Amino acid sequence: MFKWREREPGVGQAWGVDWGFTDRAGGVSTGAYDSLNLGGHVGDDPAAVTRNRARVAEAFELEPEALRFMRQVHGTAVAVVGSEPQELAPEADVMLTDSPAVALVVMVADCTPILLLDRTEGLAAVVHAGRVGFTNGVVDAAVSALRDRGASDLEAVVGSSVCPRCYEVPADLRDQAAAASPAAYSVSGIGTPAIDVAAGVVDHLHSAGVSVTWLPGCTREDETLFSHRREAGGRFAGVVRLLPPEDAA
């Protein structure tokens, strides 16, 4: 079910965290969605998606309705969510919370998923960083939104995404990405222009003073993950839940 996961309880006055990235295993979907597809907008059986999401919620010791999703549009909008019921997922590519009663979810199939945390202030966020969002500043939007709410000691985990070997683009798009971050300039496996979105994301996080853990792996090359470039199908997810401080009243 998880490609990577860590659970660290709160210690003293510091908040803890339960966060991870799912893989394709452990669900009930079939065909191109086999098996833990979490995307409800990609043509999979809605009942299967509901069961898959329930399994992820259970792993985070939550009810399914405590998962918080976004309608991701490759933009830079920020949604702030809490424990109130989510009747309609917000249209956003950044979502943040200060509530341990919910888990934030970002879905991807080649784009770069980011989990953000401030253990002192008790703030968490997820970010969906595709090429367009990255070049338009979605990382800075996320960091600024967290700092506007008091975050000062941010850490991030950047999940697997499509690597530049597999992300051939026209030269003008590579130039746009390189203008956002020189780290994004790359060459594909066949020597053509390519973009390394994850490297650009990590560069933006480092420039903003965020501590980064960058997980290895290419979604197109790793068949344990969903990849839109390899085959149209499902979505895997990054998930983060705050855990209350040990000294919480």
Phi, psi of 222 (to 5 degrees): -105, 105
Alpha carbon distances (Å) from 29 to 13, 49, 64, 213: 41, 7, 17, 31
Q: What is the pLDDT of residues 113-146, one digit of tens each?
A: 999 999 999 999 999 999 999 999 999 999 999 9
Q: What is the pLDDT of residues 169-198, one digit of tens each?
A: 999 999 999 999 999 999 999 999 999 999
pLDDT band at 248; cut points 50, 70, 90 = low
Taking phi over 0 as left and psi of -120 to 50 as alpha, with beta for the rest, 157 belongs to beta
Q: Per-domain residue ranges for the chain?
A: 2-23+66-243
Instruction: For the domain covering 2-23+66-243, report its CATH number.
Output: 3.60.140.10
Give the residues across from 212 on adjacent strands.
156
Q: What integer pLDDT is reported at residue 165 of this predicted model?
A: 98
Q: What is the pLDDT of residues 65-107, one digit of tens each?
A: 999 999 999 999 999 999 999 889 999 999 999 999 999 999 9
pTM for the structure as a whole: 0.98
User: Is residue 187 a contact partner of residue 194, using CB atoms and an 8 Å limit?
Assistant: yes
Q: What integer pLDDT is reported at residue 247 of this predicted model?
A: 74
Q: What is the pLDDT of residues 14-51, one digit of tens each?
A: 999 999 999 999 999 999 999 999 999 999 999 999 99
**Nearest C-alpha neighbor of 114 from the set 147, 158, 71, 155:** 158
Task: Please report where in the chains the tokens 């079910």 appear, as a residue.
Answer: 1
Residue 112: alpha-carbon gap to chain centroid: 7
Instruction: Dihedral sign for Cα 235, 3, 153, 83, please.
Output: positive
